[in-house]
Chains A and B, each alone.
Chain A
Amino acid sequence: SQQGEEDPQALSIQEGENATMNCSYKTSINNLQWYRQNSGRGLVHLILIRSNEREKHSGRLRVTLDTSKKSSSLLITASRAADTASYFCATDRGGGATNKLIFGTGTLLAVQP
């Protein structure tokens, strides 16, 4: 079953604008990760935020995590046409040796040039 749900399901913006995607999950987690998937290509890891962190930055990406609300957001600033892709959040509940990720349903981002 899917742990996370992304919102919105689809988002269309103009180049240069910011894009915000949200992820909600159901159970406690060890960490939350965001991945990008371009059309016809594999998943690429973007950023990992641990349960004891509230905000993390990587280049034009900013991720926040609110464990009390069981939600996370991914902000892409100054978007480019190349950012067009599906974005997935994935939760790792930790415990033992499994490092098992449960992916959400994804947000399809279209950046218009």
Chain B
Amino acid sequence: EAGVAQSPRYKIIEKRQSVAFWCNPISGHATLYWYQQILGQGPKLLIQFQNNGVVDDSQLPKDRFSAERLKGVDSTLKIQPAKLEDSAVYLCASSLTPGRADTQYFGPGTRLTVL
């Protein structure tokens, strides 16, 4: 079974530039998550989708971050404009059944460096 795919794996940009990350979850998984993991910390949930609807985006900095999940499959996370403190690894995860204590399967992440 293919895992969660993310691209790119690494991205270096200057502050005030824009960047986008892509995620393809495990086939058939209804729920998709985007996490931000700053160096030395645990992942922090940014946004959660169930199919193509947003379930939780309470910790998403909406003035600069946006995310979409078209057709309930792939998802993109965008930062515009980026700040130095956005340097982190962005992890995408998916799980099978909404509302249950399901295992979340994580992708390899995208490491973003903002200069």
Binds B, one of A11-19, A68-76, A89-97: A89-97
Q: Is A28 in contact with chain B by the CB < 8 A criterion? A: no
Residue from A33, A101, A106 having most chain B Cβ neighbours under 10 A? A101
**Which chain A residues lie closer than 8 Å to B108 at the CB level?**
41-42
Q: A43-B43, A98-B56, A104-B42 are in contact. Are A92 and B101 (CB under 8 A)?
A: yes
User: What does the 1/0 interface line of A69-113 toward B look like (CB < 8 Å)?
Assistant: 000000000000000000010101010111111111110000000
Q: Is the CB of A42 within 8 A of B43?
A: no
Query: From residue B65, how far is it (CB to closest CB) to chain A in Å?
Result: 17
Residue of B nearest to A50 (CB): B101
Binding site for B on A (CB under 8 A): 2, 4, 30-31, 33, 35, 41-45, 48, 50, 88, 90, 92, 94, 96-106
Distance in angstroms between the alpha carbons of A104 and B98 in the assembled complex: 23
Q: Report chain B residues within 8 Å CB of A92.
A: 101
Task: Offer 27 A-B interface pairs, CB within 8 angstroms, sorted by A.
Answer: A2-B42, A4-B42, A30-B101, A33-B103, A42-B4, A42-B106, A42-B107, A42-B108, A42-B109, A43-B106, A44-B106, A45-B103, A45-B104, A48-B103, A50-B101, A88-B43, A90-B42, A97-B50, A98-B55, A99-B31, A99-B98, A99-B100, A99-B101, A100-B56, A102-B45, A103-B43, A104-B42
A99-B95 contact given A42-B106, A43-B106, A48-B103, CB 8 Å threshold: yes
CB of A105 within 8 A of CB of B101, answer no
User: Roughly how many angstroms separate A16 CA and B35 CA in the complex, as a whole number?
Assistant: 34
Instruction: Tell me whether A101 and B45 are in contact (CB under 8 A).
Output: yes
Nearest chain B CB to A63 CB, angstrom units: 14
Given A97-B99, A104-B42, residue A45 in contact with residue B105 (CB < 8 A) = yes
- Alpha-carbon separation in the docked complex, A96 to B98 (Å): 9
